[in-house]
Amino acid sequence: MDVGVDGGDAATDATTDTRRRTAECWSEALERPCCFSRSNADRLDSPELLVVYLAPTEPAAFLGVGNVAPFVEMVQSRRLTWLLDLEVAADGATTLVTGSGRATEEDRNVYGFLDPTTNLVVDGTIVDETLNTEPSSASLTLSLFDQRGLVTGEIVIEHPAFEDVRLTEDRTCVGELGPLALTWSLDVGFVTGFVTVESSSVGVLPNFDISLCQVMAGTPCTEPRSEWTHKPDSLCEAGACAHGACDPDVDCNAYRFRAHIGAAGTEIVTPEGA
């Protein structure tokens, strides 16, 4: 099915008083246990998923819940719309196509990739319904939107990898809604990689109104490095990144990034003209 992809998704703001008090899906069109809009039961070899939970645990700035909740809000309010399109062979060999998306004009729970030419393609395996990939040699760029649907910034993850991402409910869910608002089961797996100071200094995060770099550093990144609360811990250069192989006060230029990731079945379509 070919449909047009909407230029914005401003009407859907997931934060409501009701959802803050109770752990309910943010739309009546979504189904438990993971707030999915489309089951993958009839397409186990090609499941399509939307990231609905993203909770960073590294770098150290994310140890405080105050910096994690806005990330959950971003994905559940579609300020960050992240799609996972898998092709799974009989032996478990898996190709994952992933990148930013937007809802279609026809259906707010149907998505198309924002720019398919920028999608990341990674190889992995599914064993015992658990997806793992090796770190990619490329980067993953995720667009961030404001309430009008305009891009306000990006999150660029260098050398991303997916670890212990367990698929349940006929490969329709990664994790499930937790007992409290904005919570998710912890059995969801991780996305890992690195985020550079340079890329994270551009634009602002929805729900923060500051740069990702400032969130991670705990201080405006325009300030001298000596004043940063949390200093970079990794070095990215010449197409490779390494944790701890640098001096945080001198030449470290990136943060190691790790986040819980949850996802739910959805429909991914090809925009007209693509």
pLDDT tens digit string along 139-148?
999 999 988 8
Task: Provide the pLDDT for residue 149.
Answer: 86
The answer to whether 91 and 81 have CB atoms below 8 angstroms apart is: no
In Å, the largest CA–CA distance within the chain is 55
**Percentage of residues in the chain with pLDDT exceeding 90?**
68
Rounded mean pLDDT, 235-258: 96
Domain-located, residue 118: yes
Domain-located, residue 216: no
Task: Provide the pLDDT for residue 19.
Answer: 38
Domain that residue 86 falls in: 2-187+262-271
The answer to whether 14 and 145 have CB atoms below 8 angstroms apart is: no
* Alpha-carbon gap, residue 23 to 32, rounded angstroms: 11
* Alpha-carbon gap, residue 107 to 116, rounded angstroms: 20
Task: Provide the pLDDT for residue 230.
Answer: 95
Domain-located, residue 223: no
* Alpha-carbon gap, residue 55 to 59, rounded angstroms: 11
Task: Provide the pLDDT for residue 20.
Answer: 37
* Residue type at 222 in one-letter notation: T
Domain-located, residue 245: no
The CA-atom distances, in angstroms, between 180 and each of 20, 24, 28, 107, 226 are 8, 9, 17, 28, 39
Task: Provide the pLDDT for residue 67.
Answer: 81
Beta strand spans in 77-119 (E): 82-88, 93-103, 110-113
Domain-located, residue 33: yes
Domain-located, residue 217: no
Domain-located, residue 165: yes
SS3 259: strand
Residue 64 has pLDDT above 90, yes or no: no
Tell me the pTM.
Answer: 0.89
Domain-located, residue 243: no
Total of domains in the chain? 1
Phi-psi region at 17: left, alpha or beta (left = phi > 0; alpha = psi -120 to 50): alpha
The CA-atom distances, in angstroms, between 140 and each of 89, 193, 214, 216, 253 are 24, 9, 20, 18, 18
What number of CA atoms fall less than 13 Å from residue 93's CA on the CB side? 2
Rounded mean pLDDT, 240-250: 95
